[in-house]
Structure 1
C-alpha cells in the first residue's frame, strides 16, 4: 500500500469518486473519506477532479480522504496526478480524452426527445401483455408523448431463463410490434441472477458458467428477491452466453434494449450469506466484475444501468440509485448534485430515478403517504435531465391543475428535446457532459457550491424548486443575457429572487 499526500491549493475543491455522494461535493471544506475498493454504491470511477485544473486518476480503485489542507490517497497501483489544466472543465477534458474517451455512439434518439415509462410502480411483479398495451394506450390518451417503455421484473419465465412467460405474454412479438406502431421503443428488465432450481441453472453449472467457490460449488448470492446463482460475466464464455440471450430477444421479438439491473461488485468477505468468497477463474481487480457486467450493455441502442465502474464515454444510460419519496438528499434533493457528479465521471447520458422516487414501500398501501407537491417538483426537476423516467402514472395520482402542471413540464422537455439530442451527439464526440454545473461552465466565479441549479450545455440555465412549500427562490445568474420561461430578461451576473408557483419550472436561455 502506498500513501500519497497532496496539499490543497487555496480555493481548491474536488469532485469525484462515487456519484451517490454528489450532495457532499465539492470536497475540501470539511473532512471526508471514501474507499473506492469497497463500494457498491451506484456508479463510480477512480477519478478526482479539481476546480483549479488538477485531477487524479488510477486504473484501479483507491481510497481517499480530505482533511484540513490535504488530500490523502491510499493506493495499490500507481496513480496519475495531472496539473496545469486551469479549470474544472479543463481537468475533465484532459482526463476524458486520455482515460475514458467518447465512443462515438449515443443511445437511441427517442430517449432524449420523450420520457421513459417504466412499468414497475404500476405493475410491480405482475406485468402482462394486456396490461402493457393498455398502459401504452393510456399514456397517449392522457396527452403524454410515446417514449421508451421499460417492461420491468417478472416478464420472463424465470431468473436466468430469459424468454417471455407464455401465459401472461401469449404473443410477445405481436405486442412489441403494436407498441412500435404506437410510437414506443421497448426495453426489458434483466439481471445476472439464475434461479437455483431451474433447468438453466443446471445447464450453466454443468458448463462452468456460474460464479463458484473454491470447492467448485456455485455461489448463491442474496439479493432483494431471495437467493440466486450468478452468471460469471467476468469470463469470455459467461459474458458471451448472457449476450446471446439479449441478442435473441432483439432478433426474435424486436426488443430495442435492456434495463440491466443489479451488477453490484462482489466485495471480498461481504457475501454475507455464504462462508466463502468467489473463486474467480482469473485474477480479478477490485470492481472489475462490476465493469464486466456493465459492458454487457454496450452495443444496444438502449441500455440502462444502475451500477457501473469506469466506462465513462460509453453510450450507456446511467440511472441514479433508487430515490425515496422525500425532499431530502435521499430523494429529490439528491438529483441535481448526483447528476452533476455523473457527468464529471464521463456518464453523459444520465437519468434520475423514477419520478417521485422508486417508491420505498407500496404506493397502493393505505399507509403510503403520497405527496403530490413532491411529485410535481420531481417531474419539473427531471424534465431537462438528459433522460427522464416515469413509473407511477401521473394521471392515476394527480388530476386537475396538478396533472396539467405535470404535463407542462413534459412539454418543456418536448420543446428542448432536439437540443438535448444535439448535446448527446456532441458528447459522443467530445465527451462533455450534457448536464453541467455552473462551476463547469462559468469557472472561478464562486459557483462551486451551487447544488440546486444546473446548466444544459452552455446556454440553458435550470433552477427547479427543491423545498416543500417554496413559492419563491433565489437564482444565481452568471454573466450574459438570459431570457426566462416567463419572458423576463435578466442581465447577469446577478442574484435574483423569482416567483416559483407550483405550476412553474424556472429555466432561462442565454441570448
Structure 2
C-alpha cells in the first residue's frame, strides 16, 4: 500500500466515499476517516471531490482521512489527482467524463413522473395476486397516481427459483397485464441467494455457477433471511445465468424491471465459515464483486439497487439504505438530503430515498409500534421532489383527514414538476449531472457548503423541507436572483429568511 498526503488549501472541503456518510459531509470541519475497502452498507465510489476544484480517483478502493491540514489516502492502485477545475461542480464534471461517463440511457420516465409503491410494509413476506390487485386499485381509489409497483420479497417459489409461487400467484401474466392497464409498471424483488436445501441449489452447484471455497464447497453466506448459497455473479457463467432469469421473467410475464437487493461485498464476517475465503473464478479486487452484482441491473428500463460500487453514469435507480422511523440525521429523515447530495456527487443521478416513513424498524401492525404521523408527512414532503420517491406503508391506512390531504398535496407537487424531473433525467443521461444538487454545486463558494437541509432540483428549483420535529417555520438560505414560492411570495436573494412552514406546507421556490 502507498500513503499519499495532500495538503489542504485554505477553506478546502471534501465530499465523497460512501453516500451513507452524507450527513458528515463536507469533510474538513472536523477529523474524519473511512476505509472504502470494507464498505458494506450502501452505494460508494473511490472518488473525493473538493469545493476548490480538485478531485481524487482510484480504480481500487482506498482508505482516507481528513484532518485540519491534510487529506491522507492509503491506496493500492494508481491514484488520479486532478486540480484546476475551480469549483465543486467543475471537479465533478471532469471526474464524471474521465472516470464514469454517462451512458446516454434514461430509466423509464414513470420513475420520475409518479411515485413508486413497494409492497414490503403492506405485505411483508406474504404478497399474493389478490393483495397486489387490491393494493393497486386502492392507490387509485385514494387519489394517488399509478406509478412503479414493486413486488417485494417472497413472490417466488424459493430463493434462486425465480418463478411465481403458483398458489399465491395463479395467473401472474394476467395480473401484470391488469396492473399495466391500470397504469402501473412492475418491478420484481430479486437477490443473488439460493436456498441450500433446494433442487435449484443442486442444479446450480453442478453447473458450477455458485461461489465456492478453495476446497470446492459452496459458500454459505449469512444474510437477513438466514444462510444461503450465492450465485457467482463475478463469473461469466454466473452472471449469464442470473440475467437469463431476469430476461425470462420480462419475456414471460411482462415484468418491467427489478429491485436487486443485497449485493454487499463478500467480507469474511458475512460468511458462515470465516476461516475459508471465497475462491473466485477470476481475480477480484476489493469491492469488485459488489460492482459485478450491480452490473446485472444494466439494460432494463427499471432497475433499483441498494448497494453499488462505482458505476456512476449508468441508468440505475439507487435507493438509500433502510432508514429508521425517526428524525435522526444518521439513520432517519434528517439524513435523506445530505445522503442524496452525496449520491449525485458520485454519479448516481437517479437517486431515491428509502420508503416513506423509513423501512419500518419494527412491525407497524404490532401494538408496540410507535407511529409518528408528523414524521410521515414530513417524510413525504422531503421525498416528493427527489428524482424518485417510494411509498410502502399505504398513507390512507395510517393517516386520515388533513394529514392525508397534506401527503396528497406533496404528491401533486411531484406530478406538477414531473416533466421537469424527467427532463433533468435526460440531461443526467447525456451530461452526467445530478438531478438533485446541493446549493454549493449550483452556487459555488458563496458560503452554501454547509447547507444540507435544502436542495436544488436542477438549477432553478429550490426545495426546503422541514426535517426537524415540531418545527412550523424554518430559515431558508436563498442564493442570488428572484425566487417565487409555492405560497406566491417573491424573495430577492442572496438572503436568509425565516418562512412559515406548517405541517401542511412543503416550501419550494422557482427562480424567475
Given the two structures, how large is their TM-score scaled by the length of structure 2?
0.99
- Whole-Å separation in 2 of the counterparts to 1:220 and 1:41: 20
- Whole-Å separation in 1 of the counterparts to 2:463 and 2:478: 10
Runs of at least 5 residues in structure 2 that lack an aligned partner in the other structure: none
- Whole-Å separation in 2 of the counterparts to 1:183 and 1:304: 20
- Whole-Å separation in 1 of the counterparts to 2:511 and 2:309: 35
State the Cα distance separating 1:267 from its structure 2 match: 1.9
Q: Tell me which residue corresponds to 1:327.
A: 327
- Whole-Å separation in 2 of the counterparts to 1:77 and 1:111: 37
- Whole-Å separation in 1 of the counterparts to 2:12 and 2:196: 52
Q: Tell me which residue corresponds to 1:142.
A: 142
SS in 2 for 1:258: strand
Q: Tell me which residue corresponds to 2:206.
A: 206
User: Does structure 2 retain, via aligned residues, the 8 Å contact 1:210–1:218?
Assistant: yes
- Whole-Å separation in 2 of the counterparts to 1:507 and 1:489: 11
Q: 1:270 to 1:261 in 2, by over 3 A?
A: closer
Q: Tell me which residue corresponds to 1:344.
A: 345
- Written as runs of structure 1 = structure 2, the 5 A alignment for 1:112-511 is 112-268=112-268, 270-271=270-271, 273-329=273-329, 330-511=331-512
User: Does structure 2 retain, via aligned residues, the 8 Å contact 1:233–1:239?
Assistant: yes
SS in 2 for 1:455: strand
- Whole-Å separation in 2 of the counterparts to 1:129 and 1:275: 43
State the Cα distance separating 1:304 from its structure 2 match: 0.2
Q: Tell me which residue corresponds to 1:35.
A: 35
Q: Tell me which residue corresponds to 1:57.
A: 57
- Whole-Å separation in 1 of the counterparts to 2:33 and 2:110: 39
- Whole-Å separation in 2 of the counterparts to 1:272 and 1:13: 41
SS in 2 for 1:94: helix
SS in 2 for 1:216: coil
- Whole-Å separation in 1 of the counterparts to 2:270 and 2:36: 15
User: Does structure 2 retain, via aligned residues, the 8 Å contact 1:222–1:273?
Assistant: no
User: Does structure 1 retain, via aligned residues, the 8 Å contact 2:268–2:274?
Assistant: no
User: Does structure 2 retain, via aligned residues, the 8 Å contact 1:269–1:276?
Assistant: no
State the Cα distance separating 1:275 from its structure 2 match: 2.8
State the Cα distance separating 1:78 from its structure 2 match: 1.2
After TM superposition, which residue ranges in structure 1, 4 or more long, deviate above 6 angstroms?
none
State the Cα distance separating 1:338 from its structure 2 match: 0.2
- Whole-Å separation in 2 of the counterparts to 1:352 and 1:221: 27
User: Does structure 2 retain, via aligned residues, the 8 Å contact 1:173–1:252?
Assistant: yes
User: Does structure 1 retain, via aligned residues, the 8 Å contact 2:481–2:511?
Assistant: yes
State the Cα distance separating 1:277 from its structure 2 match: 1.1
SS in 1 for 2:28: coil
SS in 2 for 1:157: strand
- Whole-Å separation in 1 of the counterparts to 2:404 and 2:270: 45
- Written as runs of structure 1 = structure 2, the 5 A alignment for 1:13-32 is 13-32=13-32
- Whole-Å separation in 2 of the counterparts to 1:402 and 1:269: 44
- Whole-Å separation in 2 of the counterparts to 1:272 and 1:36: 23
State the Cα distance separating 1:426 from its structure 2 match: 0.6
User: Does structure 2 retain, via aligned residues, the 8 Å contact 1:294–1:307?
Assistant: yes
User: Does structure 2 retain, via aligned residues, the 8 Å contact 1:113–1:420?
Assistant: yes
State the Cα distance separating 1:271 from its structure 2 match: 2.4
1:247-289 per-residue CA deviation (whole Å, 9 max, x = no partner) reads 0000000000000000000124652554311011111000000
Given the two structures, how large is their TM-score scaled by the length of structure 1?
0.99
- Whole-Å separation in 2 of the counterparts to 1:460 and 1:101: 25
State the Cα distance separating 1:77 from its structure 2 match: 1.3
State the Cα distance separating 1:293 from its structure 2 match: 0.1
- Whole-Å separation in 2 of the counterparts to 1:125 and 1:501: 37
User: Does structure 2 retain, via aligned residues, the 8 Å contact 1:269–1:277?
Assistant: no
- Whole-Å separation in 2 of the counterparts to 1:153 and 1:356: 19
SS in 2 for 1:476: strand
For the aligned residue pairs, the C-alpha RMSD in angstroms reads 0.7
